[in-house]
Each structure stands twice: as structure tokens, then as C-alpha cells.
Amino acid sequence: MRACRPRRGRLRRRVTGGIRNTARGARTSFATAPDHGFTTIGNHIMYDTESLAATRGPAGGQPEPRRVRNFIDGDYRAGDRWFDKRSPLDNAVIARVAEASRADVDAAVQAARAALSGPWGGLTVAQRVDILYAVADGITRRFDDFLEAEVADTGKPVSLASHIDIPRGAANFKVFADVVKNVPGETFEMATPDGAGALNYAIRRPVGVVGVICPWNLPLLLMTWKVGPALACGNTVVVKPSEETPQTAALLGEVMNAAGVPRGVYNVVHGFGPGSAGEFLTTHPGVNAITFTGETRTGAAIMKAAADGARPVSLEMGGKNAAIVFADCDFDAAVEGTLRSCFANAGQVCLGTERVYVERPLFERFVAALKAGAEQLRPGRPEADTTGIGPLISQEHRDKVLSYYRQAAELGATVVTGGGVPSMPDDLRDGAWVQPTIWTGLGDDSPIARDEIFGPCTLVMPFDSEAEVIGRANANAYGLSTAIWTTNLSRAHRVAASIDVGIAWVNSWFLRDLRTAFGGAKQSGIGREGGVHSLEFYTELRNVCIKL
């Protein structure tokens, strides 16, 4: 896959909570990204059919909040109720979002069901593949529009979103298009009493309407990670993006229409959980399967809802991931990789590291190096090339993270660095900012080591033996991922096989081949996604037996 870069100077208008004017040729974080080979198509984010661009306020004032609507049966629809989307950067209202009613969700599900028996259901695999490639190309052509929407919703650095979020959003459609194009079949010949024999072969059929519940930390990436394989397998979808990040899911509706995706195949309903779109979707009898990424408590509630009707669920939930650093590691690589795993996306990554176990002879040196790296991560506006870390997603989430910062202090943790709120300029003072934080001095039984915090923080603890650290790493309710740092290949194999997780990295972190299985153990999830593994959830396998 070709990596993508927006051209420097193209995002020139000031967006509240988004990207500031950038003079042509000025140094920005765009300069470090590889070229994506496409020009932009202007400044509109056209997911509001009545107001294609952000509505301007009085001359010289801030833009008025955008209107983000539900996308149902190929059209954008308003609602009777609206809610505010606030910028993580400064807490300003940047969008008014239509909250889907029960009737709206029902209309979306009915549209998805109708599409199954309509043109979409009659397409061949090759025809679906062509359409999904067109969707991927549409995301790439609209790169700057998706980038602007993603950054406005999340506040994350432009360099991060332009290198990871938007390119992966496009790649997810192409990868799964290629998967379904090349799925191997299976056949079995069998004997029969009359000697004529019989032939068995398997075919895969779509499960039907898939409810897609998406998180806010990597909105486009994780939404397309589910929508891509669902559509590739011939299903239709109703997407409920997080109320914190509604814009890219809505914008994708335009790309779907332009790519020739039939009406009703892709639908988006906005809202919250209980008593809102999330509950209406997961309890709807017309939904055949539910896929969810988010916190474990919500995933458990979705499992209960899906039990009515025995509908399958795919759950990717929480994590309290551990890095294990042995004294024989490549020190610089281990520090750099651990630093990224702790603080990328302000720690709001399900695969992020919140526990670091360091072999005792290396402990003091490693903590000092990690401290030095964390203190280089400067908070700031997403477009600034000096910005190393963005805000948390919301004031509510900031309050949760800061409650753990206070708990750590009350429990007697040593604050190596951070532990509070950074000093920000006046225009950013009301944003959801916290300091990158490193603690030592607490044990595995503390809530700091036990609970998923989902912020830019980590607890570093020493260990003395391989057996000890395996036991401690496994003594947690979660089991999503681990990163093992050692130059001893035999040890790497032993430890990777002994940790109860869905993915174990050795001398790396966040290195992903999208053809491989992804998912968690224990309370981190149910099921696997990625490559052909996604087919197990998004299709029903049917055996055909023919008497010869």
C-alpha cells in the first residue's frame, strides 16, 4: 500500500478544534509524511446535504458548528434532537450532531435489509471487489477532508492521523477486497453404500445486517476495519460511531455514494448507548450480527443484548498491556518502542502499554531513559511540528484519567515525570490536556497496575526472573497484547508462548500485517478479525452434499 500525504499548505482555513491556516511552504508536520500522489478537492467536508461546508459566523468570527446528520438509505437525514460535539483542544462546540431516534435506527436497519435482496445481493464477488477498491480510492482522493474531520474530532497530531488513521482507513477496504477475491474453497469426496459416491463442498454466505459499534480513539481506522470485511463478504451495515467522533463515519457516506455502493448498504446512526442509538441498534431484531470495539463493560452489555435471538458477536474490548524488557535487549530500540507504546495517541490505544516490567539490572537506566523521552513530548495544536502529544478525547475522559493520577499519589507512587495537567496557552486552556506520566513504586495489586486507564501513563516495575515476570504479566483480567524486548531468540519464543494474550510482539510494537489474526484473550475480547479470520464472523459456512 502506498502511504499518503496531504500537500503542504492545502489545509488553509481555520477550523475550530481542527487545523489552523498554514502558509504555503511553511514547515509543518506534513513535511515528514510520504507523498500520496493525489491532489485535494477543496475545503468542503460534504456530509451535510443542506450545508456542504462549515457554516460561517460573523465576519472575522469563528465558524459556526457543522451539522452532522445520520446517513440512511443513501441520504443524509436530520433528527428531532441534536447534541453537541466539543473539541478536545479547547472544549468549543465544533458540531451539532443529529441523535438518531428509534424510528431512525429502524429505518436504517430496514434499508440495510432491503439492500441485501436488492442490487447489492446480486453482485458477484468480483463486482463487490471493484466497488470496494473505488471506496478506498475515494478516501485517498478525499484525504485532506478525512484528515481535517479526524483531527477536529480527536485533537490528535496531524502527523499521526496522516501516517496511520487515514491511510489505514483506505487500506482496510483493499485488504479485505483482496481476501474475499482469493479465499480457498474446500471439497471432500465420500463413499456411499451404492458405490456411486458423493461430493461435499463449502460455500460462504453473508450473515446479513451487521451492527457496527465503533470507538473514538481511532475512529476511521477501526470503523473501516469492520465495515471493510463486512461489505467484502456481501453484508450490509448500520454503523453507530462514538458520539465523540461522528464526522468521518458521516463523511464516508459521500464516498460510498460516489463509489457506486447501492443505497442501504452503508448506514450511519448517531447517538449514545443506553436509551439511544446504541441500545436501539444492538436490540433490533433485524440485526443479524454485532461487532464492537470499546470498553469491557459495554461489550458485556452488548453480549447480553445479542443473546436474545442467539446472534453472533465479535468483541474487541479493554487491555492492560505489558511490556517485558530483559537486560539483554537492544536498549535504544526497547526505549523507543516502549515510549511509543505508552504515549502514542495520548495513550488512547487499546494496544498501548500501561505496565512495563524491566529486568532489575537495567531498571534505573531504563526508567531514566523513558523519563527523558516522555519529557520531550510537548502538547500543542495538531498542525504544529513541535507537537508530540495531543489532548484526551473529552473533559469526561480527562476527569477519569486524572482520578488515577490522584490515586497513584495517594497510594505513594513515585512520580518519575508528569502526574498532572500541563500549562497551556489561553486558547487551549479549556482543552482535555494531561501530562505524560511515569510512575514507579507500586505493585501489581494496585489499581494503577490492574485497571485500564487509557491515558498517557505507565507504571514501571522491576523483575528478577523470566518465570516471575510471566506470572506477573498474566495476573491480570485482560489479555490483549504484550511487547517482549530481548535479543535471546529462544527466550522470545518461550515468553511469547506463555503470555495469555491475543498478540505478542517481539522487539517491536504496533507492527501489523492485516492478513493476520487480531483479537484478545480473557476480558479483552471474543473472536478474531483480520485476513481470512474475519470471514468466520462475517459469513455463514454452508456445506453442500451432492450425491453422484
Answer for the pair 363, 328: CB distance below 8 angstroms, yes or no: no
Which among 114, 82, 75 has a CA at the least distance from the CA of 100?
82
| 15, three cell numbers | 477550523
Q: What angle do CA 295, 297, 298 make, to 5 degrees?
A: 70
Query: Whole-angstrom Cα distance, residue 504 to residue 336?
Result: 17
Q: What angle do CA 529, 531, 534 make, to 5 degrees?
A: 40
C-beta neighbour count of 197 within 10 angstroms: 12
Single-letter residue type at 513: D
Would you tell me the crossing angle of helices 466-474 and 489-498 to the nearest 10 degrees?
Answer: 30
Q: In the chain, what are the helix, strand and coil shares in percent, each to the nearest 5?
A: 35, 20, 45
> Which H helix or E strand runs over 299?
helix 296-307
Q: Facing residues of 512 across strands?
A: none
Answer for the pair 293, 223: CB distance below 8 angstroms, yes or no: no
Any residues with CB less than 8 A from the CB of 449 and at least 6 apart, and which?
320, 355, 442, 443, 459, 461, 476
321-325 and 313-316 beta bridge pairing: unpaired
- The residues carrying an active-site annotation are 316
Q: Facing residues of 547 across strands?
A: 198
503-506 and 236-240 beta bridge pairing: unpaired
* Residue carrying C-alpha cell 461489505: 231
Alpha helix positions (H), 29-116: 102-116
Own/partner contacts of 334-340, CB < 8 Å, gap of 24 or more, are: 334/366, 334/485, 334/507, 335/366, 335/369, 335/370, 335/373, 336/373, 337/483, 337/485, 337/507, 337/508, 337/509, 338/370, 338/483, 338/485, 338/509, 339/370, 339/373, 339/374, 340/509, 340/510
Which among 54, 47, 52 has a CA at the least distance from the CA of 70?
47
Query: Whole-angstrom Cα distance, residue 213 to residue 297?
Result: 14
Q: Facing residues of 289 across strands?
A: 210
For 264-362, where are the E strands, in sequence order?
266-268, 289-293, 313-316, 321-325, 353-359
Residue 43 region, left (φ>0) first, then alpha (ψ -120 to 50), else beta?
alpha
> Which H helix or E strand runs over 306?
helix 296-307
Query: Whole-angstrom Cα distance, residue 99 to residue 497?
Result: 46
